[in-house]
Homo-oligomer: A and B are copies of this chain.
Amino acid sequence: MSTSHLHPFDAALALASSAAGLYTGHTSPAYWNMVGPFGGITAATLLQAVMQHPDRLGEPLSLTVNYAGALAEGPFTLQATPVRTNRSTQHWTLSILQPDAEGAPVVTTTATAVTAARRETWGVGDMPMPSVPAPAQCKRITPAFRSEWLQRYEMRPVSGALPEQWDGSGDTSLSQLWLRDAPERPLDFCALAAMADIFFPRVWLRRARQVPAGTVSITVYFHAGSDLLATTGSGYLLGQARAQEFRNGFFDQTAQLWNEAGTMLATSHQVVYFKE
């Protein structure tokens, strides 16, 4: 399989299927983080397995990914099982496995997902997009540290960028930024899942200290259907993230993603490990 002409995101998400629900893939150097893949690319890969499953009904509604252990560089196995299909929702369980030193399969990641049939109903946004300067008015930043995956996104911070000095002076956990794939790529559910994990650990901002930190579990709720994703295309999204509580080595962060027209595409939450 040639992936040379693919967008790096599509190359990273390439899966081969040997049976319904059983896939093999390979970690992507283009989305490498410090000790494993960017968590967002792992979430996107799990969702990709659902999207490619021959029995899938409906579009993504929710995705929860639990990072049980770092994926090692190399191939992996992914299992996606539709455990129950209802009239309007379908429930999935997923896992990623890699062999340990003795070759025995070890779970690196567990996940659940729900796909659903979207219907025309009453609707309203109850969390309006904040009023911020347009993307062109916000300067594009170059990655502040050497994680390859940071090169895969165009980021234009509005507020709450990485501290310039790690001096313990932080007083907020709120970040807002314009973002999109680099190079540009039309938005789909997998890309949206990845973008929900784009925010650096809130503890870095709140403390102005770059302590070791890593996502333990993330949940993404998809409010957009495929028609809204198509309308959004390769435009900028506004991402917003903040923490609620830091305690005893863990904190949570909540996030929202709107398109430039101000329509909510996804909301997300995660719980993150941090080291003192």
Contact = CB atoms under 8 A, between A and B. Distances in A.
Contacts of A119: 248-249, 276
A274 B68 contact: no
Contact of A107 (B83, B244, B250): B83
Q: Is the interface of A mostly helix, strand, loop or mixed?
A: strand
A180 interface: no
Interface string A260-273: 00001001010101
Contact of A84 (B61, B107, B207, B243): B107
Interface in A86-116: 86, 88-89, 91, 93, 95, 106-108, 110-112, 114, 116
Contacts of A223: 245, 247-248, 250, 252
A179 B217 CA distance: 28
Interface string A26-70: 000000000000000000000000000000000001101010110
A125 interface: yes
A112 B249 contact: no
Contact of A245 (B95, B127, B206): B127
A225 B249 CA distance: 11
Given A68-B83, A249-B119, A91 B114 contact: no
A76 to B, nearest CB: 14
A128 to B, nearest CB: 10
B248 A267 contact: no
A244 B61 contact: no
A126 B243 contact: yes
Interface of A: 61-62, 64, 66, 68-69, 83-84, 86, 88-89, 91, 93, 95, 106-108, 110-112, 114, 116-127, 173, 202, 206-207, 216-217, 219, 221, 223, 225, 242-250, 252, 254, 256, 264, 267, 269, 271, 273-276
9 contacts: A68-B84, A68-B89, A112-B112, A114-B217, A118-B248, A119-B248, A121-B274, A124-B246, A219-B269
Given A61-B250, A68-B83, A126-B246, 18 more contacts: A62-B216, A64-B64, A66-B112, A84-B106, A84-B108, A88-B249, A111-B112, A114-B271, A116-B249, A117-B249, A126-B202, A126-B206, A127-B245, A223-B245, A225-B248, A244-B264, A254-B254, A267-B269
